[in-house]
Amino acid sequence: MKTRTGYSGLQILLHWATAVLVVFNWFYSDGMGRALRAHLGDAASSRPPSMNPDIHVWTGVVVLGLVLLRLALRAVQGTPRAVSDGWVGRAAVWGHRLLYVLLLATPLLGIAAWFGGVKALGDPHELAADALLWVAGAHAIVALWHHHVLHDRVLLRMVRPE
């Protein structure tokens, strides 16, 4: 993979668009369990949910598209090297890999449940979404720690294209 000094403008745009849509979809999910049962023709859940499931479904599909675009762009344009050496740098690399795994697994499990009709994958989808939010939350705290405590350029490189 190519190493560069920072992220490109498009990589930065995709990072923040993904972050906003993931957080939005996590909060706009209450009622999806009932929506899934109704969608799969479960007669016992005739009461419609008080939300529009299409918004959750299509926002999630867009997230998957943006993540695939990000991974393709990453392969072509490369990414900057971790700022720290040793285990701290390796933790950053593995933390980002874990984020990508959860960013792919969450919408794919949702798609398998909704479009594939595999109801049993609804719970793993919810678990993956919760894990994604926790890991992303920790990731955001680390980014803010770099900026406000360590006073390095880590946060700025996800703001200013280089």
**Cα gap 153→63, rounded to integer Å:** 27
Strand 79-80 relative to strand 3-4, pairing: parallel
Place of tokens 């979404």: 129
Beta bridge partners of 80: 4
The owner of tokens 């792919």 is 104
Can you give the binding site for ligand HEM, defined by CB under 6 A? Answer: 15, 18-19, 22-23, 25-26, 29-30, 32-33, 36, 56-57, 60-61, 63, 74, 79-80, 82, 92, 96, 99-100, 103, 106-107, 110-111, 113-115, 122-123, 125-126, 129, 136, 139-140, 143-144, 154-155, 157-158
| Residue 134 Cβ vs ligand HEM, minimum distance, rounded to whole Å | 10
Q: How far is the CB of 9 from ligand HEM (least distance, A)?
A: 14
Q: In the complex, what is the shortest distance from the CB of residue 21 to ligand HEM, in angstroms, rounded to a whole number? A: 7
Helix (H) or strand (E) holding 17: helix 9-27
Shortest separation between residue 38's beta carbon and ligand HEM, angstroms: 10
Helix (H) or strand (E) holding 55: helix 53-77
